[in-house]
Structure 1
């Protein structure tokens, strides 16, 4: 049996989780299309990036050129910071806590619901697992290469989190030896694109639960603004000038203006006259 008030707490967590998921889904990289796709879907570019595609040009002399397309790092940094909260076990919106709350709000006696919850958790676990494993590739160097002493082997997960905490979010000591920020970033693109894709899929899943009336979330959860998409803020209104610290307790919208305030336009006109007496 759910404890008193627990349902309200769970609803608040899931609603805030949805808002965080929407920030990921509204990121420019999540909205970008993959060139050449006939029917692009939101997140297609991220799905491509998470697979760490490599283009190979092989020549007859035995040499080859490998190319990995990378998004702009400044733009990708903002995406990585939007998914970072989902990886922090101490964060209120860590994915485990959010899915636990979601499970308590849904009918977990239903076989389909249990299967969906299990599959979603499996996908999040795969995307966020930081244990010593290789997700897509690993890199190594040996003693003496490029002047570096020693040797090292790093998985793409090691390098990705090194980029996040040594180059972006924190100033941790660099621990990747021969490999610099470029190699760390290459790994990060695959790892954090994967998280973003799972975040978008989770958003669609929760939206479906709401549409099927399996759960109810506060009005505006899926429609209130969650990201700033303008480059200029315009506010229309009246502007008045008063003395510093003047009492504005009686000022009400649409009400009379206290006598110790005057239109800011009058002040501007007065200042202009002081600098240019011919101003009318």
Structure 2
């Protein structure tokens, strides 16, 4: 492993140690690291010995688990590997002697705190009966702390010098561990701070992620937004690299699906034409019931986006008199708006809508028709929102719902973006374009920078787009000293009456002029691609 990576991982680990609640009170940590023994002697000669321990044993155990990798030879953040990495990076170069002294002293402190062995860090203990029999070996605080770690905390197999510590009770092993591991935690913080100083003063190369990566979760619950998909039992799991939205047999788990888990909520909705042919049908759901002393109220969610409201008297489980109280449309997302818009269009082409409950007709309503202008408006909205939803799927991003006004230019730009994201080359503007060439030579392609397209309040990001025509002309119009000493401006023009062609680099590869041609048309309602002044 590279030395820079060793130091990066150490910084992440040390930051995790520093973030621990037991370390937040630095003075308290140092008191535990130094150890203390309060002795009281009363008038009778009785002595009382008091050792101060952390208030919460479990919390201290979690601190030790964060420190432990720094003590293991098998870990990349083992303190010996960390100091070796520092020394190799610094080498024999000229650095402030104060830093070399600090590195040396800190390394000595780590060596003295090594938990594998019998060395004495602060004290030893030994016990025997009053008559001197059954004496135990003298055991160092290092052995006691290591035995607590390997026999009481993370393992149950104390071996070597640690075995002798098992002759003493758990409280003795734990008391030693509090001092030893508090000291190691303090050393970890001191080492991290030294590395930070070396990075600033001597240019120690450590990736920024060492200071930016999360080291704690810091939350009691995790809230994430996502989408669930369901399929019949036994369905084949799709390849994780493919969008579930397009996997055969899989569909999004919606509010409607959730409500329909209760059979009592299941409603089937059928829209029929004048000749009784089915225009569309939906598995809908009762989303709200409100019993009243005289009437029962029902809200039925259709297409996941439109709630139809009913009130009826219930007699012998039948509904002899049903009142329709209108509908309410929910357009909080572009997908909901697309679904509701398509339902509104289906309502125009249908003459009746029937609500079926438990296989029986619950209610049939006659449906209105829209005027020609209203119908055109619904169609344009459907086409526009469909483009936005398609771009959401292509980019994996969600945008604010399209709820405001937009014009034909917005529609053209949106459709072009969708087609280019699908990998197509499309027609662009017919107008001349002024560009700046920093090297002074006429550009071979025109680069349109990334921007944001606002369509009815839905802000859709547009990536960098390239534009070219094989027969475009370039006319020098001046210099651009603000863009560089050689920079010039050019007026780029396509052939008379012809458009440029646009594509997204990386999604569409154009190998030569023979490939610069439209591969898809706009196909927009009431917009003539051949004459639209874009």
Out of 13, 34, 40, which is 1:51 matched to? 34
Query: Are the aligned partners of 1:140 and 1:152 in contact in 2 as well (CA < 8 Å)?
Result: yes
1:217 aligned partner: 206
SS of aligned partner of 2:125: strand
Q: 1:194 to 1:125 in 2, by over 3 A?
A: same
CA distance in 2, matches of 1:195, 1:89: 15
Query: Are the aligned partners of 2:126 and 2:135 in contact in 1 as well (CA < 8 Å)?
Result: no
1:154 aligned partner: 139
Per-residue Cα deviation, 1:45-79 (whole angstroms, up to 9, x for no partner): 22110111122222122112221111122111111
CA distance in 1, matches of 2:81, 2:106: 13
CA distance in 2, matches of 1:139, 1:250: 64
1:251 aligned partner: 243
SS of aligned partner of 1:188: helix
Query: Are the aligned partners of 1:46 and 1:197 in contact in 2 as well (CA < 8 Å)?
Result: yes
Q: CA deviation at 1:258?
A: 7.0
Q: CA deviation at 1:28?
A: 0.9
Indicate the structure with greater strand content.
Answer: 2
CA distance in 1, matches of 2:7, 2:98: 20
> Which gives a bigger RCO, structure 1 or 2 (Cα 8 Å, sep 6+)?
1
Alignment map for 1:47-196 (pairs within 5 Å): 47-71=30-54, 72-106=56-90, 108-109=92-93, 110=95, 111-128=97-114, 130-143=116-129, 149-172=134-157, 175-176=164-165, 178-196=167-185
Per-residue Cα deviation, 1:124-163 (whole angstroms, up to 9, x for no partner): 1122264433222222111479xx9453321111111110
1:3 aligned partner: none
Query: Are the aligned partners of 1:152 and 1:177 in contact in 2 as well (CA < 8 Å)?
Result: no
2:246 matches 1:261? no
CA distance in 2, matches of 1:138, 1:108: 40
2:529 aligned partner: none
- State which drifts further: 161-170 or 259-268: 259-268
Query: Are the aligned partners of 1:29 and 1:46 in contact in 2 as well (CA < 8 Å)?
Result: yes
Indicate the structure with greater helix content.
Answer: 1
Q: Give the TM-score, by structure 1 length.
A: 0.81
Q: Which 5+ residue runs of structure 2 have no aligned equivalent?
A: 268-284, 288-534
2:195 aligned partner: 206
Q: CA deviation at 1:112?
A: 3.4
Query: Are the aligned partners of 2:229 and 2:250 in contact in 1 as well (CA < 8 Å)?
Result: no
Query: Are the aligned partners of 2:118 and 2:139 in contact in 1 as well (CA < 8 Å)?
Result: no
Q: Which 5+ residue runs of structure 1 have no aligned equivalent?
A: 1-5, 34-42
Matched positions, count: 259
Q: 1:151 to 1:275 in 2, by over 3 A?
A: farther
Query: Are the aligned partners of 1:11 and 1:217 in contact in 2 as well (CA < 8 Å)?
Result: yes
Q: Which structure has the greater CA radius of gyration?
A: 2
CA distance in 2, matches of 1:265, 1:213: 59
CA distance in 2, matches of 1:164, 1:91: 17
Query: Are the aligned partners of 2:117 and 2:143 in contact in 1 as well (CA < 8 Å)?
Result: no
Q: Give the TM-score, by structure 2 length.
A: 0.45
CA distance in 2, matches of 1:151, 1:260: 69
Q: 1:129 to 1:268 in 2, by over 3 A?
A: closer
Q: CA deviation at 1:207?
A: 1.3
CA distance in 2, matches of 1:51, 1:258: 66
Q: CA deviation at 1:120?
A: 1.9
